Chain A
């Protein structure tokens, strides 16, 4: 069988030759920490700009509406890798961040451009999540709030947004799961996240594929339980809904 060779022949190019463990485990531990920090901070930073973008997108003012639309279009329709290069070499070519290490292995002069690029990209996607969440709240809610004398902003803030949160939170958590995987692109600029760790172990030990397989397993172990937890929360939140 074609697959029997996968397990029988333990050459350095084998998928399951994990003989670099336990010696090189630290690369994967630090990689996971870097990846999680990168994705959590990016999505957290994306939330407020995304809310602003979503509200702008729902605005009746044509100019405000189209500024937000253009931002979302650009960031959703171009590759993250190119955005990363432009932010890292372009924007942060003008803004110099001194090299300084936090937590012993995170170089902020690389980390900050990475976070900014991921956050800018993510805010475009999160804005769409917010917009969909707000639009999903029945129009009658706004009409009722307005007829009770609330201003447009008050009815958005006090009536619509609190109900929209329920639609938004699961999608936002899914965005985080996506970001954990997407942040692997930062390895091309030497940010020492999980894929970078796998690449480094592979080049040092000449085990050219198996470190990536291990990295994939680690991503799965993080993301699968996270997705299941999100589903559970979603079910719990739907319990209040009337069928």
Chain B
């Protein structure tokens, strides 16, 4: 018995010491922590680099790298579910959030937003993804009356379905993957995603197509910081965004992310 207790105590002690050692060894360089939800190619996703290491890539990651450079800080990425992002920002776990976020009035109450860094084009407006066999059934929002329509929890798409899809039943899920699975196995009739994402899934999966339904333009995507900007980040962020816009850097980031996403599927 004594021996067992001693061994257990030793294990506990080792773990405790390891934890203490780890926290005291934290580096001193200035860091900026970005919160994101890396399951959303081409905006943010994870690929393997040449050295077979996991790496965050995508348009938002490229933009965040530039923002960090502008702030003279090292970028660190904190990955979580999309619907946890605002909580993490309010808690102060992350300094900035880039996750293809539109600055809606509801979100403006919880956080402050930068100038837009990404102006959605026609391809980025919300789109409806449906099964190829049923694509003919849908030509307007009204055609979804009595149908189940999926969207990601806490996104503008979920709001869109509940406000504009009269008579449709909203199925709100956390993960885009689960939404696509629901559609693939006929558990919902349609899902609403950001255009860029919907097009990627339609391209990757030949059973799925984008329905010919116009949902109107998306709002521009902005960088979220804590309410009141206590760390004084917005000025530098907006300056960097202005420079990126002037250099047409965002288009280059988009092309890069698209290429990486194509490589990842191969």
Contacts and interface: CB of A to CB of B under 8 A. Distances in A.
B64 interface: no
Contacts of B207: 11, 13
A contact patch SS: helix
B205 A11 contact: yes
Contact of B206 (A11, A98, A108): A11
Contact of A157 (B1, B174, B264): B1
Interface in B37-77: 38-41, 45-48, 52, 54, 76
A203 B12 contact: no
A175 to B, nearest CB: 14
Of A105, A199, A204, A205, the most chain B CB neighbours within 10 A belong to A204
B137 interface: no
Contacts of B79: 190
B122 to A, nearest CB: 23
A89 B87 contact: yes
Interface string A17-47: 0000001101100100000000001001101
Interface residues of B, number: 51
A52 B90 CA distance: 37
Given A11-B206, A165-B4, A206-B205, A100 B26 contact: yes
Interface string A156-177: 0100011001000000000000
Contacts of B33: 99
B8 A204 contact: no
B248 interface: no
A202 to B, nearest CB: 5
Contacts of B23: 97-98, 100, 108
A90 to B, nearest CB: 10
Contacts, number: 106
A207 B54 CA distance: 18
A209 interface: yes
A12 interface: yes
Contacts of B255: none
Contacts of A208: 177, 180-181, 184
B76 A99 contact: yes
Nearest to A13: B184
Contacts of A97: 23
Contacts of A98: 23, 26
A190 B37 CA distance: 9
Contacts of B81: 188-190
Contacts of A27: 54
B45 A203 contact: yes
Given A11-B184, A99-B33, A203-B41, A26 B48 contact: yes
Contacts of A189: 80-81, 84
Interface string B1-12: 100100011011
A48 B54 CA distance: 37
B74 to A, nearest CB: 11
12 contacts: A26-B52, A45-B15, A47-B8, A99-B31, A108-B22, A188-B174, A190-B78, A199-B175, A200-B38, A200-B39, A200-B46, A205-B264
Given A162-B1, A200-B54, 20 more contacts: A12-B205, A13-B207, A26-B52, A30-B54, A89-B87, A97-B23, A108-B19, A108-B22, A157-B1, A188-B84, A188-B174, A190-B78, A190-B79, A199-B175, A200-B38, A203-B45, A203-B176, A204-B261, A204-B264, A205-B264
Interface of A: 11-13, 23-24, 26-27, 30, 41, 44-45, 47-48, 89, 93, 97-100, 102, 105, 108, 112, 157, 161-162, 165, 188-190, 199-200, 202-206, 208-209
Question: Top 9 closest A-B pairs, CB basis?
Answer: A203-B39, A13-B184, A98-B26, A206-B204, A190-B80, A12-B205, A190-B79, A108-B22, A208-B177
